C-alpha cells in the first residue's frame, strides 16, 4: 500500500471502521445527522454488565470523600448561609490511577471479545496508562502513541512520566514530536498491526464512564441521604462529561446541574511547536475543550460518542495558578495528594460552592494519581525553565504562555462562565458547513445536539440561507 501521508489520510475512515468493528455508516440519517442512541447501544452492554466487567478488572467502586476543610475554607469567603458541601470521587484509586480506567476496561473487553490480538491508543495522558493496564489484564498486546516532544526534543515531565507508567504495564510506547504526524502514525500502526482502536470516542469509551455517574448518585445517597445538586466534570474531549451525565440520568430523575470545567489556555495553540511546552496542563484545558465541543467529530472515529453539548448546563474556566493552588490545598487541608487534572474541577467547585447554600452538595467527579513528573512542583519548575513568570497576585491577570498567577487571597479563585449559547451557535455553524440542504430529521438532530429548541436552531439556520426540505 501507498503509505504516504496523503494516501493514509485518504483511507482513514476505512482504517478506523476496521479497527473498532463498527460500521458507522449504518447510523447516518438525513444529510448531517446520525442516530446517536443507536450507536451507544453498540455491543449490547447494559450498565449492569459494564459494572460487572469493571469490578472484575480492578475498576470502579471508588470512594466518595467529603472535603470538610476545603468546604470550611469556602464558607469563610461565601455569603452567610452559603458554601455547599464539597465531595470528591476519588478515581485515583482505580488500578491505573484515573477514571480513564473505566473507558479502557470496556475497550479492552470489546477488543478481546472481537478477537483482536492487541490494542492501540493515541494519547499523551492518563488514558495510555489505563489502556496498558487493562490490556495486561486481558493478555492483549498494547501500543501507546504519544505526542511528547517539541522540535528540540524537549518533553513535558507529565507526558514522560506517563510513558514510564505505560511501559511498566508492558506496553510499547512510541513518542513523536508535536504536529500532524501523530494521527498519521496512529492510522499507520492500526493498519499494519490489525489491532483494536481503543479510542476515547467510541461507544465503549463512553459506556465505561456511565458507571461513574451512577456511583456518584448511589454513593451520595448512602453518605448524606440525598442526591447532589451539582456535579463538576473536568472537560477536554467531552467523553468524561458525556459518560458521567448519561450515568446520572440513568440513575435518577432529579435535575442535577452538570458543569464542565477547563483550564483557560486562551491564546496557546495545542499543535504549535513553540506553544507546546508553554502550557502546564496536557489535558482538561480549553485547547481541547472548546474545539471538541463545537466540532465533536474531529476525533479519531467517524462519529464521536462524546457529545458534551447534549448534557452540559454550565461551562466554566479556571486559570492555571488557581488549579495549582487548589492542588496544594487538597494535600495540605485534606491530606490527599492528587494530580492537577482532577483539581481543575476542584478549583471550579471551590468557587461554585459559594453560589450554593450550605445544605446543598457539589461533587468533584474525579481525581487522578500524581507522581514525580505530574506533581505540581515539577510542572511549575518546568514552566519557569520555559520562561513563564510565576507569582502571587490576581489569577485573572494570568496570560497563558507568559505567566502563572497563584491567588494571593483565597477569595480570588473564581470560576468564569463561558457563553453556552455562543458555543452552540459555533457548533451549528460547523454542522451547516457539511451540507447546504437539510431535512426535518437533521433539524431534530440539531435540537438534541445543542440541547436547545427548534426556534433556536431555525433562527441560526436562517442566517446561513440553508435550504430545508419538506
Query: So what's the pLDDT on residue 185?
Result: 93
Residue 470 has pLDDT above 80, yes or no: no
Residue 196 has pLDDT above 80, yes or no: yes
Query: So what's the pLDDT on residue 247?
Result: 98
Taking residues 139-149, what's their average pLDDT? 95
Residue 168 has pLDDT above 80, yes or no: yes
The 10s digit of each residue's pLDDT in 16-60 is: 889 999 999 999 999 999 999 999 998 889 999 999 999 999 999
Higher pLDDT, 318 or 463: 318
Residue 259 has pLDDT above 80, yes or no: yes
pTM of the model: 0.96
5-18+98-202 classified as CATH 3.20.20.80: no
Query: So what's the pLDDT on residue 115?
Result: 96
Higher pLDDT, 272 or 313: 313
Going by DSSP bridges, is the β-strand pair 33-34/28-29 parallel, antiparallel, or unpaired?
Answer: antiparallel
Query: So what's the pLDDT on residue 297?
Result: 94
DSSP reduced 3-state for 315: strand
The 10s digit of each residue's pLDDT in 157-167 is: 888 888 999 99
Q: What is the DSSP string of 76-141?
A: HHSPTTB--EEEEE-GGGSTTSSTHHHHHHHHHHHHHHTT-SEEEEE-SSHHHHHHHHHHHHHT-E
Query: So what's the pLDDT on residue 158?
Result: 87
Average pLDDT for the chain: 95
- Phi, psi (5° rounding) for residue 346? -65, -40
The 10s digit of each residue's pLDDT in 64-113 is: 999 999 999 999 999 999 999 999 999 999 999 999 999 999 999 999 99
Q: What percent of the chain has pLDDT over 70?
A: 100
Tell me how far apart the alpha carbons of residues 97 and 162 are, in angstroms, rounded to a whole number: 11
Residue 257 has pLDDT above 90, yes or no: yes
Q: In whole angstroms, how far apart are CA 416 and each of 77, 197, 398?
A: 17, 36, 13
Taking residues 293-317, what's their average pLDDT? 95
- Phi, psi (5° rounding) for residue 244? -65, -45
The 10s digit of each residue's pLDDT in 384-441 is: 999 999 999 999 999 999 999 999 999 999 999 999 999 999 999 999 988 889 999 9
Query: So what's the pLDDT on residue 320?
Result: 97
Query: Which CATH code is given to the segment(s) 56-97+204-417?
Result: 3.40.50.1100
Tell me how far apart the alpha carbons of residues 19 and 119 are, in angstroms, rounded to a whole number: 9
Amino acid at each position: 500500500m501507498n503509505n504516504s501521508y496523503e494516501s493514509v489520510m485518504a483511507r482513514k475512515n476505512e482504517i478506523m471502521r476496521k479497527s473498532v468493528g463498527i460500521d458507522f455508516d449504518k447510523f447516518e440519517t438525513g444529510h448531517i445527522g446520525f442516530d446517536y442512541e443507536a450507536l451507544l447501544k453498540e455491543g449490547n452492554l447494559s450498565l449492569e454488565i459494564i459494572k460487572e466487567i469493571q469490578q472484575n478488572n480492578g475498576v470502579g467502586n471508588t470512594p466518595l470523600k467529603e472535603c470538610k476543610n476545603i468546604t470550611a475554607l469556602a464558607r469563610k469567603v461565601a455569603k452567610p448561609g452559603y458554601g455547599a458541601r464539597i465531595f470528591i470521587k476519588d478515581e485515583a484509586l482505580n488500578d491505573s490511577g484515573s477514571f480513564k480506567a473505566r473507558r479502557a476496561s470496556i475497550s479492552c473487553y470489546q477488543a478481546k471479545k472481537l478477537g483482536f490480538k492487541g490494542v492501540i491508543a493515541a494519547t499523551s495522558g492518563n488514558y495510555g496508562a489505563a489502556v496498558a493496564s487493562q490490556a495486561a489484564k486481558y493478555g492483549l498486546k498494547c501500543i501507546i502513541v504519544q505526542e511528547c516532544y517539541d522540535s528540540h526534543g524537549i518533553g513535558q515531565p507529565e507526558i514522560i512520566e506517563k510513558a514510564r507508567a505505560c511501559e511498566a504495564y508492558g506496553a510499547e510506547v512510541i513518542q513523536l514530536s508535536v504536529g500532524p504526524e501523530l494521527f498519521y502514525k496512529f492510522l499507520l500502526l492500526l493498519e499494519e498491526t490489525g489491532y483494536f482502536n481503543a479510542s476515547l470516542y467510541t461507544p465503549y469509551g463512553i459506556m465505561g464512564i456511565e458507571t461513574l455517574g451512577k456511583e456518584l448518585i448511589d454513593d451520595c445517597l448512602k453518605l448524606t441521604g440525598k442526591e447532589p445538586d451539582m456535579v463538576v466534570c473536568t472537560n477536554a474531549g467531552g467523553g468524561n462529561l458525556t459518560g458521567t451525565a448519561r450515568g446520572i440520568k440513568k440513575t435518577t430523575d432529579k435535575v442535577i446541574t452538570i458543569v464542565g470545567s477547563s483550564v483557560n489556555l486562551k491564546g496557546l495553540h495545542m499543535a504549535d511547536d513553540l506553544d507546546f511546552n508553554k502550557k502546564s496542563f496536557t489535558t482538561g484545558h480549553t485547547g481541547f475543550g472548546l474545539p471538541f465541543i463545537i466540532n465533536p467529530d474531529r476525533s479519531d472515529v467517524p462519529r464521536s460518542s462524546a457529545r458534551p453539548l447534549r448534557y452540559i448546563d454550565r461551562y466554566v474556566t479556571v486559570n492555571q495558578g488557581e488549579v495549582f493552588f487548589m492542588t496544594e490545598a487538597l494535600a495540605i487541608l485534606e491530606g490527599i495528594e492528587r494530580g492537577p487534572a482532577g483539581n481543575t474541577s476542584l478549583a471550579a467547585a471551590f468557587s461554585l460552592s459559594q453560589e450554593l447554600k450550605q445544605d446543598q452538595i457539589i461533587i468533584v467527579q474525579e481525581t487522578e494519581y500524581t507522581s514525580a513528573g505530574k506533581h505540581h512542583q515539577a510542572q511549575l519548575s518546568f514552566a519557569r525553565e520555559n520562561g513563564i513568570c510565576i507569582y502571587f497576585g490576581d489569577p485573572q491577570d494570568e496570560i497563558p504562555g507568559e505567566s502563572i498567577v497563584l491567588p494571593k487571597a483565597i477569595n480570588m479563585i473564581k470560576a468564569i462562565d463561558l457563553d453556552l449559547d455562543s458555543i452552540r451557535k459555533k457548533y451549528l455553524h460547523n454542522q451547516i458547513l457539511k451540507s447546504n440542504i437539510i431535512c426535518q430529521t437533521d433539524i431534530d438532530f440539531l435540537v438534541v445536539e445543542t440541547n436547545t429548541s427548534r426556534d433556536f436552531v431555525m433562527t441560526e439556520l436562517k442566517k446561513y440561507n440553508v435550504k430545508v426540505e419538506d
